[in-house]
Amino acid sequence: MDYLSLSDSLKYVDLSGLPEDKMIYGLLFAVSNKLQARADEMLPEITSRQHFLLIVLSLFKDKYPSLKEVAEVVGSSYQNVKKMADNLEKKGFIELKRDEHDKRKYNLMLTDKVAALSEDIDREAETFMEDLYKGLTEEDLRRVIAVLLQMETNLNTKKKGL
């Protein structure tokens, strides 16, 4: 396949002979960096990583998750999630509460300020998502989800080395 015709960014590099698995590896990083930069531009008070953490917190129904649980879902270290949580708490988006049963654990709770943030960025976020997935069919999206979930499973299964 002529990958060069699919991306303006690739015009600077020679991809001839590059195996597809290595191309995917590089594209995951490049897309991740661009996604983060674009989302950071859209968010007024927080970073895209902090926004993702808030989204993850909203997915825990009827529960205030621990830092460890959130770190596992986010795919980051406990220390990184703790630092993001501390920053979000300072900005008033979450509360960190000691676990009632285990005082070593912290649980995370969303505040009302998250709803206000969502109202502020919903329209822009919707446009951002439309632009991001432009040209992709529902089947394309389902296939990407399946592939990414398999890659995540592979990463979770083999903890050491790459």
147 belongs to a structural domain: yes
With b for 16 or more beta-carbon neighbours within 10 A and e for fewer, the 3-31 pattern comes to eeeeeeebeeeeeeeeeeeeeeeeeeeee
Query: What does the pLDDT read at residue 142?
Result: 97
Q: pTM for the whole thing?
A: 0.82
User: Is 84 inside any structural domain?
Assistant: yes
Instruction: Print the domain residue range for 46.
Output: 38-157
* Both structure tokens of 30: 């490049």
Residue 102 falls within a domain, yes or no?
A: yes
Residue % of the chain over a pLDDT of 70: 93
Q: What is the CATH number of the domain that holds 47?
A: 1.10.10.10
Does residue 3 sit within a domain? no
Structure tokens that stand for 2 in this block: 């002529």
Q: Where residue 7 falls among pLDDT bands split at 50, 70, 90?
A: confident
Please report whether residue 21 resides in a domain.
no
Q: Examine residue 81 and state whether it is found in any structural domain, yes or no.
A: yes
Asked if the structure places residue 8 within a domain, the reply is no
pLDDT greater than 90 at residue 143: yes
In the chain, the number of structural domains is 1
